[in-house]
Amino acid sequence: MDSLKAGNPSVHTTCPYCGVGCGVVASPDTRQPVAGDAEHPANQGRLCVKGASLHETTGHEGRLLFPVIRGHRAGWDKAIEEVAKAIRSSMDAYGPESVAFYLSGQLLTEDYYVANKLAKGFIRTPNVDTNSRLCMSSAVAAHKRAFGADVVPGCYEDLELADLLVLAGSNAAWAHPVLYQRMKTAAREGRRVVVIDPRRTATSELADLHLPLRPGTDTVLFNGLLGWLADGDGLDQAYIDHHCQGFGEALASARAAAPDVASVAKQCDLPRQDVETFYRWFTSTPRTVTAFSQGINQSVAGTDKGNAIINCHLATGRVGKPGAGPFSLTGQPNAMGGREVGGLANTLAAHMDYDSPDSRSKVAGFWGTSSVADGPGLKAVDMFEAVHRGDIRVLWIMGTNPAVSLPDSTRVREALALCPTVIVSDCVSQTDTTAHADILLPAAGWGEKDGTVTNSERRISRQRSFLPLPAEVKPDWWIVSSVAGKLGFAEAFDYDRPADIFREHAALSAHENGGERIFNLAGLAGLTDTGYDALEPVQWPVLSGAGATGSSRLFTDGRFVTDDHRARFVAINTILPEQKACDGYPMVVNTGRIRDQWHTMTRTASAPRLLAHRSEPFIEVHPHDMARLKLLEGHLGRLTLKNDHFVGRVRSSGEQRPGEVFIPIHWNRQFASSAVATVLTESVTDPVSGQPEAKHGRASLTPFRASWHGRLLVRRNRPRRWLADYWCHVPLHHCDSWWIAGGQPVQWQGAVSDWLGGAAHVVMADPAQGCFRAARIINGQLEAVLMVDHDPARIPKAGWLDDCFSEPELSESSRRTLLAARDVDVEDPGAIICSCFQVGERQIGAAIADGVESVQGLGDLLRCGTNCGSCIPELRNLIDGSVGERV
């Protein structure tokens, strides 16, 4: 904050997207682009394109600006009173368990802390869970089983120091881009990378070995590795003897499940020599890090997968050492902070669980309440089932969009519709979840809110506010504390600022902590307000005295936080469910992230350049399946499970395994007609962690028969008077736009005014080609454009037309080429590959045709790939002439 004191208005804060937790320098003048914070240890100045676009997402369009009660705007007094009344009457009539909180890893630690305290300590409902259940809970459970506590032992530097980097179920190139850049930059002679993922992703670009295993079979692969280590003199027997327990049982299970390499290769559907290569590299490389993410966690066997990985690290003594350790990559900016405060239903607070001795009375004593909730509450999927049954009658959702992100989201929406009182705190007004809210509470967003977050390497960083709170918007901690006050708990929630809450949270972590809880912020409990404002990024534990500088690695001495300080091997004998691709739904549906969108798109879709890379939901299909199912590249396809559908643009991809498709999780009912991935993933959960299996849905796949395809561009905020079987909303810089398609032929000449919002002024029709284009111009300004064709590939790109909407008076030349949709003198760049500099596939293709042979050469010529670097894998693909971007 020195810069602030010096009168420079820039503020050092933290990116609100992924768990890398990059430092950002932002300005209250939101026209100024944000910059990477060169001094932040996570990113050292780097940003990915999402981070670099943050200033474009802080506008007020679409924001929830006032409390709303049953459709009517209300003041805060009334809203707080209504929330308190609903909670109180449900507690009185049905007991405290009838009230539930569903929180989020995107809340700040301070917000999270007060919500957890109110629920578990004062309302005394155990039913508090968080979207981290869908994200990190398998890793949490695996850490607890192995180490005795939910601890990531290593730090980011380990990913650079490792001589063997194993990336299991992680597409870091797209999901943790800055960390991926760090891994990439650390490449050196002899450093090897293995990527374990059923599909070949952008991350595989870094791989010396890619293992496209059969989905779900990771436990077999790592069980096989444990047996191989034992057979081949790969064990660190001294470490096992002195620091671990349970090796014998774990090895016996491993041998039973994966007797030899041939069996592993068969079960995982991998070439035997590739499995062997992986095993040999692992055995011979002391500095090995296995980083894992959702391909591991989001599985019926997620916890077992995590422990199968950790087993191999324990067996080789590779935990908490420079360049060696298992490394769970967290997803959300504060996934880790939520675990610290105890946001998960099976935890209490500050890494204390219900089952650890005295923790309930310790926490109750500290909070000044007579008791806390009795025991663990319902985990997310079960919580929404209880809502559906009517057992939970008041549900307060903060900072998450469960109508899109929970599995079997059709049933989740039913539950929300049945629930007597749904309270939603969010920053935006229209989401698939706010649609079901009885009470809507406007929450502060990034730039407005103030507090702390913890990243994947346990590093606590400040998110500082630099923008005023718009309209009636309030921070989440204030909203929760106000409701607590109204419920009669004012004394325990008497906070004036986030620093008050942080000090309390830090003090609770140290409270009666004789070292049995490794999460300890004793050194931060006495922070002054100024100290809190100036807090530099620091890794917990932060002990008092000499330990106050934080801790980069844990368990370095092989002492763990179990009763006997030994780590536990876990016997992994997961019986994989039979491949359930049957009964008419033969395709396995894998779901995940794309590079430039964040979750349900509430923020990233407001930055048009983030929609340039992929503007539509898509289905990636292996070429054999394309041919077999008569699917056409660039046309639409439909995945069906029972009565639910996902419609997206078909992309032929040799990077898929046959019989498996990949779809993005981002689109939802606000942005597309039917592209919610979670209607295809059922509510199957891991028995230990309760984390849903989000990577293994099932569906049938057919072409979506459209007789026409189109693109519609309309001046922003115009009423919509059209219907289409397929639509996808793509907000552009100067107008709104939609991809559209329909099954029935349309007489365009007669219907065009519905689409354009009035009569067309320029029309071009070629019925023989199935082509129709029309535009509407009002007072010299472009008002709307419609482009229709039977072949979607012939519909022009919208970039040039978008610019036309900004012209106060359309120029004569623009008018002339309006329906060609481009300035005839300027080359069409093609599909955007580099979002930072908006460089397209055609430009890149032309440069390659002109002889550019390297990514660096492309960067020198076109600047692509020279900022965040996220597009480098795709640039390399284009150079290699292998599978590049197609739509």
Ligand X SMILES: Nc1nc2c(c(=O)[nH]1)N[C@H]1C(S)=C(S)[C@@H](COP(=O)(O)OP(=O)(O)OC[C@H]3O[C@@H](n4cnc5c(=O)[nH]c(N)nc54)[C@H](O)[C@@H]3O)O[C@H]1N2
**Contact residues: ligand X, CB under 6 A:** 18, 104, 106-107, 131, 134-135, 168-172, 174-175, 196-199, 201, 215-216, 218, 293-295, 298, 331-332, 398-402, 404-405, 425-428, 431, 443, 445, 449, 476, 590-593, 595, 597-600, 602, 665, 677-678, 681, 694-695
Considering beta carbons, is residue 246 or 331 the nearer one to ligand X? 331
Residue among 43, 3, 478, 2 nearest 15 (CA): 43
Q: Which of 11, 20, 443, 521 touches ligand SF4 by CB under 6 A? A: 20
- How far, in whole angstroms, is CA 414 from its chain's centroid? 24
178 binds ligand SF4 (CB under 6 A): yes
Considering beta carbons, is residue 481 or 681 the nearer one to ligand X? 681
Distance from C-alpha of 576 to C-alpha of 597, rounded to nearest angstrom: 32
836 binds ligand SF4 (CB under 6 A): no
Distance from C-alpha of 328 to C-alpha of 230, rounded to nearest angstrom: 25
Contact of residue 20 among ligand SF4, ligand X, Mo ion, none (CB under 5-8 Å per partner type): ligand SF4
Cα separations in angstroms, 860 against 306, 693, 840, 853, 870:
42, 44, 15, 12, 16
Q: Going along 436-494, which residue ranges are E strands?
A: 439-442, 451-454, 459-463
Considering beta carbons, is residue 108 or 741 the nearer one to ligand X? 108
203 binds ligand SF4 (CB under 6 A): no
Contact of residue 57 among Mo ion, ligand SF4, ligand X, none (CB under 5-8 Å per partner type): none
Residue 238 Cβ vs ligand X, minimum distance, rounded to whole Å: 31
Contact of residue 201 among ligand SF4, ligand X, Mo ion, none (CB under 5-8 Å per partner type): ligand X
Contact of residue 447 among ligand SF4, Mo ion, ligand X, none (CB under 5-8 Å per partner type): none
Cα separations in angstroms, 820 against 793, 804, 817, 832, 840:
14, 13, 5, 19, 19
22 binds ligand SF4 (CB under 6 A): yes
Considering beta carbons, is residue 22 or 364 the nearer one to Mo ion? 22
Q: Which residue type sits at 69?
A: I
Considering beta carbons, is residue 267 or 405 the nearer one to Mo ion? 405
**# residues near ligand SF4 by CB under 6 A:** 14
Judged by CB under 6 A, the stretch of 19-27, 194-202, 209-217, 361-369 that binds ligand SF4 is 19-27
Considering beta carbons, is residue 135 or 336 the nearer one to Mo ion? 135
Residue among 351, 356, 353 nearest 337 (CA): 351
Distance from C-alpha of 37 to C-alpha of 756, rounded to nearest angstrom: 45
Contact of residue 310 among ligand SF4, Mo ion, ligand X, none (CB under 5-8 Å per partner type): none
Contact of residue 131 among ligand SF4, ligand X, Mo ion, none (CB under 5-8 Å per partner type): ligand X
Residue 613 · residue 595 · CB < 8 Å: yes
Residue 218 Cβ vs ligand X, minimum distance, rounded to whole Å: 5
Distance from C-alpha of 13 to C-alpha of 22, rounded to nearest angstrom: 9
Distance from C-alpha of 642 to C-alpha of 660, rounded to nearest angstrom: 18
Burial class (CB in 10 A: 0-12, 13-18, 19+), 124: buried
Residue among 339, 340, 348 nearest 119 (CA): 348
Residue 314 Cβ vs ligand SF4, minimum distance, rounded to whole Å: 30
Residue 574 Cβ vs ligand X, minimum distance, rounded to whole Å: 12
Cα separations in angstroms, 556 against 74, 153, 157, 245, 560:
55, 8, 15, 17, 9
446 binds ligand SF4 (CB under 6 A): no
177 binds ligand SF4 (CB under 6 A): yes
Residue 312 Cβ vs ligand X, minimum distance, rounded to whole Å: 14
Q: Which of 18, 403, 535, 834 touches ligand SF4 by CB under 6 A? A: 18
Q: What is the phi/psi pair of residue 757, to 5°?
A: 80, 20
- Reported as type and span, the H/E element at residue 90 is helix 76-94
Binding mask 112-131 for ligand SF4 (x = CB under 6 A): --------------------
Residue 764 Cβ vs ligand X, minimum distance, rounded to whole Å: 39
17 binds ligand SF4 (CB under 6 A): yes
> Which two tokens mark 105?
């890893």
- Reported as type and span, the H/E element at residue 178 is helix 177-185
In the chain, % helix, strand, coil (3-state, to 5) comes to 35, 20, 45
Distance from C-alpha of 313 to C-alpha of 326, rounded to nearest angstrom: 7
Residue 219 Cβ vs ligand X, minimum distance, rounded to whole Å: 10
Considering beta carbons, is residue 113 or 805 the nearer one to ligand X? 113
Contact of residue 15 among ligand SF4, Mo ion, ligand X, none (CB under 5-8 Å per partner type): ligand SF4
Residues 815, 816, 817, 821: is their CA dihedral positive or negative?
positive
Where in 398-427 is the site for ligand SF4 (CB under 6 A)?
Answer: none
Residue 90 · residue 394 · CB < 8 Å: yes
Contact of residue 464 among ligand SF4, Mo ion, ligand X, none (CB under 5-8 Å per partner type): none
Q: Which of 11, 25, 37, 43 touches ligand SF4 by CB under 6 A? A: 43
Residue 694 Cβ vs Mo ion, minimum distance, rounded to whole Å: 10
Q: What is the phi/psi pair of residue 644, to 5°?
A: -105, 150
Other beta carbons within 10 angstroms of residue 94's beta carbon come to 16
Contact of residue 403 among ligand X, Mo ion, ligand SF4, none (CB under 5-8 Å per partner type): none
Considering beta carbons, is residue 50 or 797 the nearer one to ligand SF4? 50
Indicate left, alpha or beta for 877 from its phi (over 0: left) and psi (-120 to 50: alpha).
alpha
What SS3 state is found at 112?
helix
Judged by CB under 6 A, the stretch of 13-21, 97-105, 437-445, 737-745 that binds ligand SF4 is 13-21
> Which two tokens mark 56?
């474009």
Considering beta carbons, is residue 107 or 397 the nearer one to ligand SF4? 107
Distance from C-alpha of 181 to C-alpha of 452, rounded to nearest angstrom: 25
Q: Which of 11, 15, 406, 612 touches ligand SF4 by CB under 6 A? A: 15
Considering beta carbons, is residue 18 or 724 the nearer one to ligand SF4? 18
Considering beta carbons, is residue 36 or 550 the nearer one to ligand SF4? 36
The binding site for Mo ion (CB under 5 A) comprises 135, 331
Residue 530 · residue 208 · CB < 8 Å: no
Which residue minimizes CB distance to ligand SF4?
51
Residue 179 Cβ vs ligand SF4, minimum distance, rounded to whole Å: 7
Residue 509 Cβ vs ligand SF4, minimum distance, rounded to whole Å: 24
Residue 21 Cβ vs ligand SF4, minimum distance, rounded to whole Å: 6
41 binds ligand SF4 (CB under 6 A): no
Distance from C-alpha of 605 to C-alpha of 601, rounded to nearest angstrom: 5
Considering beta carbons, is residue 710 or 869 the nearer one to ligand SF4? 869
Contact of residue 409 among ligand SF4, ligand X, Mo ion, none (CB under 5-8 Å per partner type): none
Q: Which of 25, 47, 424, 821 touches ligand SF4 by CB under 6 A? A: 47
> Which two tokens mark 774?
């029309």
Residue among 727, 709, 725 nearest 789 (CA): 709
610 binds ligand SF4 (CB under 6 A): no
Distance from C-alpha of 736 to C-alpha of 694, rounded to nearest angstrom: 32
Residue with tokens 């909203």: 479
Residue numbers of the site for ligand SF4 (CB under 6 A)? Answer: 15, 17-18, 20-22, 43, 47-48, 50-51, 176-178
